[in-house]
């Protein structure tokens, strides 16, 4: 089955700096890679996703890059703000028949220091 590793587990940055979180996956057939943001006590919110037919996708201050050869994808947040502080999860699909399961990384606690 799919195994998704996420690093780092915690990340502190100064407000205005950039943050990068990286995930690696094991199944070369995986073709969909979402990122979720979870604030304390709240639901995970889908913030950006990428499919394997593109190498990069941007949405304002956030971007996701995908390296299929190396089997890793990364979340980039530029010009960080205190409201970016949250836990971020990556995920990759389990290609098991017609099912559409996601396997989640263990999460990264991002703290943006004012």
The single residue among 48, 64, 73, 107 that binds another protein, judged by CB under 8 A, is 107
Closest listed residue to residue 25, CA positions, set 37, 13, 45, 7 = 7
Q: What span, in angstroms and rounded, lies between the C-alpha atoms of 96 and 16?
A: 41
Q: Is 105 one of the binding residues for another protein (CB under 8 A)?
A: yes
Q: What span, in angstroms and rounded, lies between the C-alpha atoms of 44 and 68?
A: 25
Q: Is 81 one of the binding residues for another protein (CB under 8 A)?
A: no
Q: Are 23 and 5 in contact (CB under 8 A)?
A: yes
Could you tell me the two tokens for 20?
Answer: 């990068």
Q: Is 67 one of the binding residues for another protein (CB under 8 A)?
A: no
Q: Is 27 one of the binding residues for another protein (CB under 8 A)?
A: no
Query: DSSP of 74-110, one letter per residue?
Result: EEEE-S--GGG-EEEEEEEEE--TT--EEEE---EEE
The least distance separating another protein from the CB of residue 6, rounded to whole angstroms, comes to 8
CB of 19 or CB of 90, closer to another protein: 90
Q: Is 21 one of the binding residues for another protein (CB under 8 A)?
A: no
The single residue among 44, 73, 86, 110 that binds another protein, judged by CB under 8 A, is 44
Q: Which residues bind another protein (CB under 8 A)?
A: 32, 34, 36, 42-46, 49, 89, 93, 98-102, 104-107
């Amino acid at each position: 089955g799919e195994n998704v590793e996420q690093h780092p587990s915690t990340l502190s940055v100064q407000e205005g700096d950039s943050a990068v979180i990286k995930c690696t996956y094991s199944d070369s057939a995986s073709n969909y890679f979402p990122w979720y943001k979870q604030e304390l006590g709240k639901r995970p919110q889908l913030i950006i996703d990428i499919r394997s037919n593109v190498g990069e996708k941007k949405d304002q201050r956030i971007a996701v890059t995908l390296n299929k050869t190396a089997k890793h994808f990364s979340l980039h947040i530029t010009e960080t703000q205190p409201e970016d502080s949250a836990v971020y999860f990556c995920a990759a699909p389990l290609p098991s028949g017609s099912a559409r399961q996601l396997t989640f990384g263990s999460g990264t606690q991002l703290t943006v220091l004012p």
